[in-house]
Amino acid sequence: MTSYIVRRLLASIPLLFVVSFLVFLLSRAGGRDPVDAILGEKGTPETRARVTREYRLDRPILVQYAHYLGGILTRGDFGVSYIMQEQPVGEQIGRRFPPTIELATAAMILAILIGIPAGMVSAIWRNTWVDYGVMGVSLLGISIPVFWLGLLLIFALGSQFPIGGNIDPSMIIEPRTGFMLIDSALSDEPGAFGDALRHLVLPAMTLATIPLAMTARITRASLLEVMGSDYIRTARAKGLTGFRVVSRHAFRNALIPVVTLLGLEFGYLLGGAVLTETVFSWPGMGTYVVDAVFQTDPMAICGASIVIATTFIVVNLAVDVLYAFVDPRIRYT
Amino acid sequence: MMRLLALLLSLAPAFAPQDRSVIVYARGDQTDTIDPQATDWGGSAKILVNIYESLVTFSEDGVDLVPGLAEKWERSEDGKTWTFRLRRGVKFHDGTEFNAAAVAFTLDRLLGRGANVPKSVPYGPQYADIDTVETPDAATVVIKLKAPSAVFLMNLAMFPAGIVSPEAVKKHGAQFGRNPVGTGPLKFKQWDPGVRIVLDRNDDYWGAKAKMSRLIILDVKDAQVAIQKLKKGEVQVVDHLALADIPGIEADPTLRMEYEVSMNVCYLGFNLRKAPYNNINFRRAVAHAIDRSKILRIAYQGRAEEARTLVPPSIFAPPKDLPVHAYDPEKAKEYLAKADLPAGFEAVIWHMTYPRPYVPEPDKLVQVIQDDLSRIGLKVRLEGFNVDIYTKKLRDLEHPMFLLGWSADIADADNFLYALLHGDSIGPLDRPSGTNHPFFNHPRFNEVVKAAQTEVDPAKRRAEYEEALKIYHEEVPTFPLAHVKQMAAASKSVKYNHHPIEYRFWGIEKVK
């Protein structure tokens, strides 16, 4: 198992090289003078000279890339975003990543807790009104545009829940971990944790919709397939109850495609849910990327893209490892 | 699902009751730094004027200058030496003393002198007429100018001249812009970039104290969500609105719209170095053909006033007898005939495709103009450009007619006439780099506008500007269209009087 993980990690390295190089190339493309692009409108002759030196902009693109990558690998230095607040990109991402992880995790928990049981119910009572109902609702969940759903939820539940940000703005929470649920629990502002939790409700519901609906559908399909196999018939022939057949025999085998799906979805969500985060002013990677794109900040776009790609690769690896636990037949050597 | 919903709903009530005097202000723009010398960005200026103060400041109506950190001042006979007596006993937010040395330190930063200068000082050139700064004692500052200036004091009131704490600048160095320390009515508490800026009341403030204990500037990108938050009472003021949202706000009994006096202008420019735009008959034809009331109705939905001339009336009241180009298609046709255009000529208007404070919907506006011009038989092609390249394109010698505008930095006619039309503002003639995009270079106009800069007699200065505006009318280098009112939506639970130049948040007050 360990050797498998190591091999997979090694295999990811060339992939990351390719991704980072492409992203880097794209951020330099577009015909703009890279100094202008990096500095925006603020370039005095001195800052221009410094940026040219700092990013080796007078050297060939490969040298620039090697220098940029070297900075990331040796010092975790993603360069400076001159356009957005003149801060190191690494620091900005470090602040924006935890809220996205928080939101994505909350959404995944909702998707698992509701999606899997819904899919099971649908499969067990196949072709009944329960099944039609669950599948109809899940089809709606997949089809509905999230920004619109977000606005709908704001109108419907906005009187019960706060509708933007991750904490009451008048509370001063010290960013110890960056995770608001943890920081608010540690802070001495009264009621901060509950407030952070309430702020999570609407964006998490919005973000959970698609993975939830897909989980329900895949769970149903996969479970139906497994239920049709011989060993299930054998189990039934032994006289086991329907519930035991599903829970002891069918469920675990049906989980593999569900785990794959959840892993992929989680990877996407960690990349920052651009629409949901924008609607709810969630201070995460999604809003960060939107700002970076609208302000055409190449350093920020490049850094964020590389971090998102890396996250995706790592989550995928984690999912593959998880298979082994779900299905004992899968052995990695 | 329903059970979960019920569970979630049960979490809902029990909002932590907010402190009655906390104000939350939602905005759509951002801040780059809170260092007054290091920025020219409007989204930063909004914050700066609440934390820092200058020697002098604008009166409530934005027109006069009143004492700020200086109690009084006097100008020498020759107009070149200014002596300021400073307010005593004022402390910076970090507890250090405000004194003459802090003023000299700040002006040095602004002029790029010494070791504590930020990486770039965009407004530096505006203060280049300062020669020396002397501090004979802790409460006196003597500033000597290279030449007399009528706008010097006005410049001192602008946000880039906000006095900074020398101790804090030395302590934080390049990070001062994230750890700002001034003397103003609000002091910095926290900045979570892209999320919020928190300012607390400065309880040791020398003047009238801030009305709230804490002010939160909240970044809410989506204007729809911002208005929902306003309706719910999560925020008290929203400063970025779509025109379409206004009727809904006006209809809500708990909300109201706030309009600010306009200190901007939107205009149609002509490239005076390119035919036929350099033909005065052509320009007059265009000026008479455009129906500004229709533009106000369609492109501004009534949220603007018609521009009689380039300078907004709130800054400089135009003389009663100043002629205007009234909407008159017949006259326009006469001028167009005189312009003697080649057969089948098609005029071109360049415009931006993104909203600006002075033009929320540029595409609509140029379409109205296109339509008006077609009525006098002038065919027009529209070409739109995005934010990256538009102003660069306008420095191109080959541009045709163009849509542009200007927002006041200071409430002075010079800020419009010099920046937008004086020959100096073109930059090098073969490689224009300035803000005079029509390339207007009229000897007499240049002369009177330059003279007004150093004229200290208000009556003479006024006469000079009146003459400049008459030349502007005669020559039509640009055609003024509209002055836009700045808008905000506010909850009726707060009182907030927009200041015409600065965002004075400290005056926002909760009422019953």
What is the per-residue pLDDT across B295-324, written as a single tens digit (0 to 9) for each?
Answer: 999 998 888 999 999 999 888 888 889 999
Cβ pair B195:A154 closer than 8 A = no
Averaged over A112-130, what is the pLDDT?
92
Would you say B116 and B169 are in contact if contact means Cβ atoms under 8 Å apart? yes
- Looking at the complex, report in whole angstroms how far the Cα of residue B335 sits from the nearest Cα belonging to chain A: 41
Averaged over B125-144, what is the pLDDT?
92
Higher pLDDT, B461 or B223: B461
DSSP B359-402: BS-HHHHHHHHHHHHHHTT-EEEEEEE-TTTHHHHTTSTT--EE
Averaged over B48-70, what is the pLDDT?
91
Averaged over B489-510, what is the pLDDT?
87
pLDDT tier for residue B252 given thresholds of 50, 70 and 90: very high
Whether the pLDDT of residue B488 is over 50: the answer is: yes
CA distances (Å), origin A46, targets B39, B64, B211, B246: 16, 38, 43, 45
Measure CB to CB from residue B4 to each of A44, A114, A165 and give the nearest one: A114
The ipTM estimated for the assembled molecules is 0.71
Would you say A245 and A120 are in contact if contact means Cβ atoms under 8 Å apart? no
Which CATH number fits the domain that encloses residue B452?
A: 3.10.105.10
Averaged over B60-64, what is the pLDDT?
79
Per the domain annotation, does B326 fall within a domain?
A: yes
B9 chain-A contacts, CB cut-off 8 A: 157, 160
In terms of C-beta density within 10 A (0-12 exposed, 13-18 middle, 19 or more buried), how is residue B66 classed? exposed
pLDDT tier for residue B8 given thresholds of 50, 70 and 90: very low
Going by DSSP bridges, is the β-strand pair B186-192/B140-145 parallel, antiparallel, or unpaired? unpaired
Question: Which of A83-92, B77-86, B359-368, B475-484 has the lowest average pLDDT?
Answer: A83-92
Residue-wise pLDDT tens digits, A249-267: 888 888 888 988 898 889 8
Parts of chain A belonging to CATH 1.10.3720.10: 95-326
Minimum Cα–Cα distance from A92: chain B residue: B193
Query: How many structural domains are present in chain B?
Result: 3
Same domain, yes or no: B59 and B142 = yes
Quote the CA–CA distance of A209 and B347 in Å, as a whole number.
53
- What's the per-residue H, E or C state across chain A? CHHHHHHHHHHHHHHHHHHHHHHHHHHHCCCCCHHHHHHHHHCCHHHHHHHHHHCCCCCCHHHHHHHHHHHHHHHCCCCEECCCCCEEHHHHHHHHHHHHHHHHHHHHHHHHHHHHHHHHHHHHCCCCHHHHHHHHHHHHHHHCCHHHHHHHHHHHHCCCCCCCCCCCCCCCCCCCCCCHHHHHHHCCCCCHHHHHHHHHHHHHHHHHHHHHHHHHHHHHHHHHHHHCCHHHHHHHHCCCCHHHHHHHHHHHHHHHHHHHHHHHHHHHHHCCCHHHHHHCCCCCHHHHHHHHHHCCCHHHHHHHHHHHHHHHHHHHHHHHHHHHHHCCCCCCC
Same domain, yes or no: B103 and B134 = yes
Residue B413: its pLDDT value, please?
Answer: 92
Which of A46, A81, A85, A202 is the mutation pick for testing B, counting most B CBs within 10 A? A85
User: Does A86 reach chain B within 8 Å, measured CB to CB?
Assistant: yes
Element (H, E) at B448: helix B443-454
CA angle B317, B321, B323 (to 5 degrees): 95
Residue A333: its pLDDT value, please?
Answer: 65
Question: Which of B87-91, B344-348, B359-363, B385-389 has the lowest average pLDDT?
Answer: B385-389
Cβ pair A172:B24 closer than 8 A = no
Residue that is last in its domain, among B170, B202, B231: B170
Residues 31-70 of A with CB under 8 A from B: 32, 42, 44, 46-47
- Looking at the complex, report in whole angstroms how far the Cα of residue B287 sits from the nearest Cα belonging to chain A: 33
Measure CB to CB from residue B18 to each of A157, A170, A279 and give the nearest one: A170
Per the domain annotation, does B143 fall within a domain?
A: yes
Q: What is the pTM of this model?
A: 0.76
Secondary structure class of B339 (helix, strand, coil): helix
| Residues in B lying within 8 Å of A, measured between beta carbons | 1, 4, 8-9, 11-16, 18-19, 22, 24, 30-33, 119-120, 122, 177, 189-190, 192-196, 198, 214, 216, 218-222, 224-225, 228-229, 232, 234, 388
Same domain, yes or no: B438 and B292 = yes
Same domain, yes or no: B56 and B163 = yes
Same domain, yes or no: B220 and B333 = no
Averaged over B453-480, what is the pLDDT?
93
A162 chain-B contacts, CB cut-off 8 A: 15, 234
B12 chain-A contacts, CB cut-off 8 A: 160-161, 198, 201
User: Does A183 reach chain B within 8 Å, measured CB to CB?
Assistant: no
The rounded mean pLDDT for chain A is 86
A with B: how many residue pairs have Cβ under 8 Å apart?
A: 116
Same domain, yes or no: B105 and B239 = no
Would you say B333 and B376 are in contact if contact means Cβ atoms under 8 Å apart? yes
Same domain, yes or no: B341 and B372 = yes
Residue B479: its pLDDT value, please?
Answer: 97
Question: Which of A116-125, B423-432, B441-450 has the lowest average pLDDT?
Answer: B423-432
Question: Which of B97-101, B357-361, B379-383, B388-392 has the lowest average pLDDT?
Answer: B388-392
Residue B9: its pLDDT value, please?
Answer: 46
Measure CB to CB from residue A283 to each of B120, B189, B192 and give the nearest one: B192
Residue A85: its pLDDT value, please?
Answer: 64
% of chain B beyond a pLDDT of 70: 95
pLDDT tier for residue A107 given thresholds of 50, 70 and 90: very high
Same domain, yes or no: B86 and B234 = no
Same domain, yes or no: B247 and B132 = no
Element (H, E) at B51: helix B42-51
Question: Which of A241-245, B66-70, B166-170, B197-201 has the lowest average pLDDT?
Answer: A241-245
Whether the pLDDT of residue B17 is over 50: the answer is: no
Averaged over B125-141, what is the pLDDT?
91
The rounded mean pLDDT for chain B is 88
Per the domain annotation, does B257 fall within a domain?
A: yes
Residue-wise pLDDT tens digits, A34-86: 777 777 655 566 777 877 887 788 888 888 898 888 888 888 888 888 766 67
Its domain, for residue B245, covers 2-30+193-261+487-510
Higher pLDDT, B432 or B153: B153
B214 chain-A contacts, CB cut-off 8 A: 170
Residues 227-286 of A with CB under 8 A from B: 278-281, 283
pLDDT tier for residue B420 given thresholds of 50, 70 and 90: very high
Same domain, yes or no: B339 and B379 = yes
Residue A84: its pLDDT value, please?
Answer: 66
Per the domain annotation, does B108 fall within a domain?
A: yes
Cβ pair B228:A290 closer than 8 A = no
Residue-wise pLDDT tens digits, A299-317: 888 999 999 988 888 888 8
Measure CB to CB from residue A283 to each of B190, B194, B224 and give the nearest one: B194
Cβ pair A154:B228 closer than 8 A = yes
A192 chain-B contacts, CB cut-off 8 A: 16
Whether the pLDDT of residue B1 is over 70: the answer is: no
Same domain, yes or no: B298 and B424 = yes
Whether the pLDDT of residue B5 is over 70: the answer is: no
Same domain, yes or no: B459 and B476 = yes
Per the domain annotation, does B119 fall within a domain?
A: yes
Residue-wise pLDDT tens digits, B66-83: 999 999 999 998 889 999
Domain spanning A95-326 has what CATH number? 1.10.3720.10
Measure CB to CB from residue A190 to each of B15, B16, B222 and give the nearest one: B16
Token digits for B482?
Answer: 């509209």
